């Protein structure tokens, strides 16, 4: 089966979590909006195509299935590409961890858009500085400390004791936060040796290394979830 991934063409965003899983698995897929433009997503978002109607990208078309929401897509892909253990308990735990990462991603986004997504960053800069300070001081350490403990309990190498899509998502979060908050992450990494080690191992996986070095891996930028504004990394 050749998958069709739909996500905005100019940013990594939430679609990157799905893209990392597809690349790591060596799955056959087409990045539709990058080839056809963002308008290719609109018939699905308007409910004009068969299958479940997505609220927003990313969504994945697999045969007749249309699957939306990052964590839900990964929950479906995981068992089909050996990106999650076989037991029901492990799969539920993987989904739980991915949902927690989704919460973290929302909070990271809200550091630069704390009032409204429809406003420019410049229209909410003062509120963003307050939100970012709280995120750096309280929320980011709480989330990353939790995942550091998850890794420790699982043996230190993988979140579920063996490689899974959760590890790929942890790599993406660590990469994104390091881009957005380089000073804060430099300080925090001393307390996150397991997450730091995991990020390095994921980046060295052969398929992932090839992907990360390719033009398909878009650079982080100030249009995506993880944005670097120096004043928010004080």
Identify the residue whose tokens are 């307390």. 191
Which pLDDT does position 220 carry in this prediction? 98
Give the per-residue pLDDT at 234: 83
The tens digit of pLDDT for each residue in 180-189 reads 999 999 999 9
The answer to whether residues 105 and 47 touch, using CB atoms and an 8 Å cutoff, is: no
Q: Which residues contact 181 (CB under 8 A, 6 or more apart)?
A: 132, 136, 140, 228, 232, 233
pLDDT of 35 reads: 97
Place of tokens 């980046």: 203
Tens digits of residue pLDDT in 210-230:
999 999 999 999 999 999 999
| The pLDDT of residue 40 is above 90 | yes
CB crowding 200-223: b at 16 or more within 10 Å, else e: eebeebeebeebbeeeeebebeee
- Identify which of 211, 226, 119 has the alpha carbon closest to the alpha carbon of residue 168: 211
Q: Over the stretch 138-165, which tens digit does the pLDDT of each residue have? A: 999 999 999 999 999 999 999 999 999 9
pLDDT, residue 226, reads 98
Of the chain, the percentage scoring pLDDT greater than 90 comes to: 99
pLDDT computed for residue 45 by the predictor: 98
What are the residues facing 61 on neighbouring strands? 4, 66
pLDDT of residue 1 exceeding 90 = no
User: Taking 90 as the threshold, does the pLDDT of residue 24 lie above it?
Assistant: yes
Q: Are 227 and 15 in contact (CB under 8 A)?
A: no
What confidence category does residue 131 fall into, taking pLDDT thresholds of 50, 70 and 90?
Answer: very high
Best CA proximity match to 4, nearest among 33, 43, 45, 25? 33
Mean pLDDT of the chain: 97
Model pLDDT for residues 75-122, shown as the tens digit of each residue: 999 999 999 999 999 999 999 999 999 999 999 999 999 999 999 999
Query: What is the mean pLDDT of the segment spanning 29-53?
Result: 97
Can you give the chain as a three-state secondary structure string?
CCEEEECCCCCCCCHHHHHHHHHHHCCCEEEHHHHHCHHHHHHHHCCCCCCCCCCCCCEEEECCEEEECHHHHHHHHHHHCCCCCCCHHHHHHHHHHHHHHHHHHHHHHHCCCCCCCCCCHHHHHHHHHHHHHHHHHHHHHHHHHHHHHHHHHCCCCCCCCCCCHHHHHHHHHHHHHHHHCHHHHHHHHHHCHHHHHHHHHHHHCHHHHHHHCCCCCCCCCCCCCCCCCHHHHC
């Amino acid at each position: 089966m050749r998958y069709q991934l739909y996500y905005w063409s100019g940013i990594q965003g939430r679609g990157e979590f799905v893209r990392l899983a597809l690349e790591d698995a060596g799955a056959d897929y087409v990045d539709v909006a990058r080839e056809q433009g963002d308008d290719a997503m609109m018939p699905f978002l308007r409910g004009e195509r068969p299958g479940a109607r997505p609220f927003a990208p990313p969504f994945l078309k697999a045969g007749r299935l249309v699957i939306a929401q990052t964590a839900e897509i990964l929950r479906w892909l995981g068992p089909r590409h050996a990106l999650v253990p076989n037991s029901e308990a492990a799969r539920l735990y993987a989904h739980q961890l991915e949902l927690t990462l989704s919460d973290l991603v929302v909070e990271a986004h809200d550091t630069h858009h704390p009032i409204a997504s429809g406003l420019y960053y410049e229209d909410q800069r003062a509120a963003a500085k307050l939100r970012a300070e709280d995120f750096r001081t309280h929320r980011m350490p709480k989330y990353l400390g939790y995942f550091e403990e998850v890794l420790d309990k699982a043996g230190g190498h993988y979140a579920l004791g063996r490689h899974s899509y959760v590890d790929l998502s942890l790599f993406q979060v660590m990469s994104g936060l390091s881009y957005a908050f380089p000073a804060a992450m430099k300080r925090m990494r001393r307390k996150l040796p397991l997450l730091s080690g995991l990020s390095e191992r994921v980046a060295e996986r052969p398929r992932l290394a090839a992907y990360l070095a390719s033009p398909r891996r878009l650079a982080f930028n100030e249009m995506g979830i993880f944005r670097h504004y120096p004043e928010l990394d004080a």
